[in-house]
Structure 1
Amino acid sequence: MENNDRFLGLIESSIHANWEKPVFSDYNGSTLLFKDFAQKIAELHIIFETINVQKGDKIALCGRNCTNWAVTFFASMSYGAIVTTILHDFDGESIHNIVNHCDAKVFFVGEHVWDKVDPLKIPHVETIIAVEDYAIQKSRSQKLNQVCDNLAIVFKEKYPKGFLPSDLKFHQEQPEELALINYTSGTTSKPKGVMIPYRSLWSNTKFAIESIEFVKAGDGIVSMLPMAHMYGLAFEILLSVAKGCHVHFLTRLPSPQIIMNAFEKIKPTLIIAVPLIIEKIIISRVFTELNKQPTKTLIKIPIIREKIFAKVKDKLISVFGGHIIEIVVGGAALDTEVGKFLSRIRFPYTVGYGMTECGPLISYDYWETYRAASCGKPVDRMEVKIDSPDPQNITGEIVVRGTNTMLGYYKNPEATAEVLGADGWLRTGDLGVMDESQYIYIKGRCKTMILGPSGQNIYPEEIEQLLNNTSYVAESLIVERDGKLHALIFPDHDAINALHSKESVDNLLKSEIVNVNKRLPRYSQIIDYTIRAEEFDKTPKRSIKRFLYK
């Protein structure tokens, strides 16, 4: 196959074309050129050869966004290994579950994750390497330390003329070949790993290259979203590397001030964002000012209103660095009022739709033709239909089919069969309609999954299982209230009475929630709770009737 028809071919071609341009920078840190990127990949390949990594072996990767995370990701795939990406804010138990479940042979771990990892609980991992400096934390290879200590010498022996563009040799993948496993969750002992084939990575990246034409080689991109999440990975990283852009990693928790400073310094033309970032700026800064006098009165006068809106738009463009051509919002629903306002002032934003199982793209539209409240139109090589007798007017489940879809869930044929039919149609679990021009409008979710503030997938059943396994909770239900997780709890009164304690039920449950939260990522922690006097209503199968509780 031609390079243009292969994902790794797109990356290889971009490295050749942009050899002397910058590719990655850590926040206030060092910068790699594309040629340095290529050499670091080759150095990791030497390490993989030393520890006998074979094509198809699994390499797990868990750490905060940084240059070495990206280098490790591309080095693993270009070697022919299968990457398993893990969100760094998972708790230790979840990380152990995932590393074991995916059969990882090598584990690259970030310094902020290392404190949560117990090597004894991942016994099948042969090698553990620190992401930040590639220091060896565990190895069964006697030769590895020797090679790493003398890597510059070993590298020079292999490439005596220095590393040249002609030395760049990537794995020749097949479209249906498994490229990476992305875990949407890991809290239970049966985590769900989405198997993304190379055709999906190629199709998503190819579409982004062709549809986001204004992004040029050398443009700066701010990486705010976790690379272990497909949304951030696909469009802040894969697109950027394939286009020859310069990615800037914030490398720390991205506070609003750090993000704004980065925009001002880097002046990106494209921003990939989750709704929370946009909503905070509009609601706290713009709506507050527009509701003050005399602006609140003046805005009712058409001519003055247009001038005010023009100034607001210019100010927003400036907030995002001054050179922004488009902001793509995804990962969760954008506040309706915010969306209407942005469309009203002709701010260059659009809303895309996708899911991890599609690597992630399902729909998108350029901001100038984007229809407010929609999430765009089906992307190239993807079909979308609404499982409804009248798809334009009657809400039904959104089902999709095409090049972007996953192979299935790793070692979980039952879960795969529930969503992926033999005919290739994937049930998204989302409800929506599609108009005559194929714009998709999401109306809700028929799954129980809750989307976190930064687009993370939150599975309430997993939190409920942890709660129900505590001493004083008989039943629980996790619901979303005002954007936060709220637990409805029916206490185990028998256990509480047997305790013969003067401690109140409220304090006992509060203590249980504190302990459960310690086992959960920050974005899926319980913020508040309500104690129920009666059991939940149930179906004949004894399942809680979720639709009765909000």
Structure 2
Amino acid sequence: MRYSPETLPDLLYKGIDSAETGLFTSTKRNGEWHETSAEDFKTKVEQFAYGLYELGIRRGDKVSLHAENSTEWLICDLAILSLGAANVPIYPTQPGDQIKYILENSESKIHIVSNDKLFSETKPIIKEVTTVEAIITLFGSEHQKLRPFEAILEQGEQFRKENPKLLAEIRESIEPDDLATLIYTSGTTGVPKGVMLTHNNIAFNVKASLEKLPFERERFNGEHVLSYLPLSHVFERMISYMYISMGCKIHYIEVIDEVRDDMAYVKPFFLATVPRLLEKIQTGVKVKGQELSGLKKNLYYWAIYRTEDYNPENPPSGLDGIKHKLADKLIYSKIRELFGGNLSGVVSGGAALSPEVFKFMNAIGIICVQGYGLTETSPVITVQRPGEMRIGSSGKALEDVEIKIADDKEILTRGPHVMKGYFKLPEKTEEVITGDGWFKTGDVGKIDDDGFLYITDRKKSMFKLSTGKYVAPQNIENRLINSGYIDQVVVIGYQRKFCSALIVPAYDNVKKRLKRDGYSPSDPINKDEKVLNLIQEEVDKANKELSPWEKVKKFVLLKEALSIEGGELTPTQKVKRPVINEKYEKEIESMYEDE
């Protein structure tokens, strides 16, 4: 094995100690950026760790953390880990009943919450959770029983003065196989399961992923990076650990709606994202050209359409290369300015990135790589990098990570990245981890002769039509979302004769398109005939690229977008298909009335 086992505090303190002076992390809160130096960060980690110790936290205990991304989130996280305790992250969007379940199931001794807005979900149920001995608030509270973060730091500082060697002794006692975190899967079905990840699970993933970077590691040192995905999810958390290891300056944004302004301010060098953001960016760029006219419009779309044939492994040369350079100078360079003008690379995870978006990002001059993994695998299994970027593939496996395809096409993986198991669920653990250590991912895919992994779909998402044909809905959905007029899609068809779809149009773009024709849609907009006709045209375009049994023969337009708050999406933007099927049963049945 190439990488020796290591604890997360040992790994991260090396990065903190080697960081440049000045800005280490920055958090946008109430519209203002709050900066923290590496020295101040490290001091607060130690103070908070001592404060937690004085509150009774010991090796093996659980501490829940219910907060938005911030420097303070990272401080709490590393302090918990430095005590040999386990961090139990809770999404800011998690509903109260799930929070109660997580607190009780994890047996968390201390609960940390960012503010009263988030605490409002917890307050009605917290008295019923007998394991929680204290609640800490990061940014103040009107509730007197909540202990302020600053007060814990002060208490910790006093205790540190009295016991200066204690924390170092505790850190030395932590083993790489100790539990580091208990992450409850957001789950598209059923009750959340607590995924047990050890220090070495994540430390290994950090070190192995560093070897797959699209640039030399030294290139990241001192660079500004932007973070918007929830730290509660292992993907962004592991990425933040990578940033710390490389000496990056991390900026945590406040709300996703301001991400364009934040990019202009931060001018990030690198970004971890999910396909959803990149899809919206591509859609926005496509529609932007409609505001132009004449030669400018023709030139704009000439450049945009060139991205559809771009292959990063075989970039254009000769005359095509000259044309690409011209397109870059006139159009692509201006698009890059939307990202702050300094963005050189992005990594996409969490779901499959469509080939169209992948080609678009790389064509406009931003290296875009796709990775694949799950919470249960810490998370990365495979990832692309320059030289290993085949279209449609999620790349090759990390060093020391094994992958293979089972007889039923399910992707299996084995190695130091695989979780310890599901907390208090030995039967569930046995269902997904074989006796010889292979983890069943629940995804369907294939590996080509050169070791590149291709994901077809979630095993549970695939369905069989009543005609006997199997359908992978994600492939169809990606084709449809490539339209500038379609925002969200859920393909339906289990035990039906044909595929149908619930579609949320990109209504702003639709209105702009129809306005140019002198038409203003009626209310309700999702029933307007011209809107329906426009979306039908986009569905027809996608259908041309699909097999006969995959073609979407009917659709219904939804007026409201699918959302986390509405319960249709997980915190990582995955569709909860069972919820969709139940919530929109009437709309779905209307498409099959003639069956």
**Structure 2 residue aligned with 1:248:** 251
1:366-515 matched pairs, under 5 angstroms:
366-388=385-407, 396-448=409-461, 481-482=502-503
Q: Is 1:174–2:165 an aligned residue pair?
A: no
Contact 1:128 1:136 in 2 (8 A): no
Contact 2:49 2:156 in 1 (8 A): no
Contact 2:91 2:232 in 1 (8 A): yes
Contact 2:92 2:118 in 1 (8 A): yes
Cα distance in 2 for residues equivalent to 1:272 and 1:29: 20
Alpha-carbon distance, 1:345 to partner: 5.1
Cα distance in 1 for residues equivalent to 2:357 and 2:151: 55
Give per-residue Cα distances to partners, 1:449-494, cap 9 Å, x unaligned.
99999xxxxxx9xxxxxxxxxxxxxxxxxx974479xxxxxxxxxx
SS in structure 1 opposite 2:121? coil
How many residues get paired? 466
Cα distance in 2 for residues equivalent to 1:267 and 1:48: 36
SS in structure 2 opposite 1:115? helix
Contact 1:231 1:360 in 2 (8 A): yes
Alpha-carbon distance, 1:340 to partner: 3.2
**Structure 1 residue aligned with 2:46:** 42
Cα distance in 1 for residues equivalent to 2:380 and 2:331: 31
6-15 or 54-63, larger mean C-alpha shift: 6-15
The answer for unaligned runs of 5 or more in structure 1 is: 389-394, 454-459, 461-478, 485-509, 535-550
Q: Is 1:211–2:212 an aligned residue pair?
A: yes
**Structure 2 residue aligned with 1:84:** 88
**Structure 2 residue aligned with 1:16:** 17
Alpha-carbon distance, 1:384 to partner: 0.7
Are residues 169 and 31 of structure 1, via their aligned partners in 2, closer, same or farther at CA, if it must alter by over 3 Å?
A: farther
Are residues 401 and 518 of structure 1, via their aligned partners in 2, closer, same or farther at CA, if it must alter by over 3 Å?
A: closer
Alpha-carbon distance, 1:279 to partner: 1.2
| Paired letter, 1:377 | K
Contact 1:3 1:10 in 2 (8 A): no
Cα distance in 2 for residues equivalent to 1:62 and 1:150: 17
Contact 1:204 1:360 in 2 (8 A): yes
Contact 2:84 2:178 in 1 (8 A): no
Q: Is 1:110–2:114 an aligned residue pair?
A: yes
**Structure 2 residue aligned with 1:239:** 242
Cα distance in 2 for residues equivalent to 1:134 and 1:14: 33
Q: Is 1:285–2:292 an aligned residue pair?
A: no
Are residues 231 and 519 of structure 1, via their aligned partners in 2, closer, same or farther at CA, if it must alter by over 3 Å?
A: closer
Cα distance in 1 for residues equivalent to 2:358 and 2:287: 13
Contact 1:126 1:138 in 2 (8 A): no
Cα distance in 1 for residues equivalent to 2:588 and 2:150: 62
Are residues 347 and 33 of structure 1, via their aligned partners in 2, closer, same or farther at CA, if it must alter by over 3 Å?
A: closer
Alpha-carbon distance, 1:7 to partner: 2.6
Cα distance in 2 for residues equivalent to 1:168 and 1:282: 51
Contact 1:56 1:81 in 2 (8 A): yes
Q: Is 1:353–2:372 an aligned residue pair?
A: yes
**Structure 1 residue aligned with 2:61:** 57
334-343 or 372-381, larger mean C-alpha shift: 334-343
Cα distance in 2 for residues equivalent to 1:521 and 1:316: 30
| Paired letter, 1:531 | K
Q: Is 1:132–2:145 an aligned residue pair?
A: no
Alpha-carbon distance, 1:242 to partner: 1.9
Q: Is 1:183–2:184 an aligned residue pair?
A: yes
Contact 1:129 1:136 in 2 (8 A): no
Contact 2:182 2:194 in 1 (8 A): yes
Are residues 151 and 349 of structure 1, via their aligned partners in 2, closer, same or farther at CA, if it must alter by over 3 Å?
A: closer
Aligned-residue sequence identity (percent) comes to 27
Give per-residue Cα distances to partners, 1:294-346, cap 9 Å, x unaligned.
23578789665662255443233322222223111111112232223344555
Cα distance in 1 for residues equivalent to 2:156 and 2:284: 56
SS in structure 1 opposite 2:33? coil
Contact 2:113 2:136 in 1 (8 A): yes
| Paired letter, 1:132 | F
Cα distance in 1 for residues equivalent to 2:145 and 2:81: 22
The answer for unaligned runs of 5 or more in structure 2 is: 307-318, 463-472, 479-489, 491-499, 506-558, 590-595
Taking only aligned residues, the RMSD between alpha carbons, in angstroms, comes to: 3.9
Alpha-carbon distance, 1:120 to partner: 1.6
Q: Is 1:121–2:125 an aligned residue pair?
A: no
Are residues 134 and 173 of structure 1, via their aligned partners in 2, closer, same or farther at CA, if it must alter by over 3 Å?
A: farther
| Paired letter, 1:91 | P
**Structure 2 residue aligned with 1:464:** none
Are residues 374 and 247 of structure 1, via their aligned partners in 2, closer, same or farther at CA, if it must alter by over 3 Å?
A: same
Q: Is 1:101–2:105 an aligned residue pair?
A: yes
Cα distance in 1 for residues equivalent to 2:282 and 2:450: 30
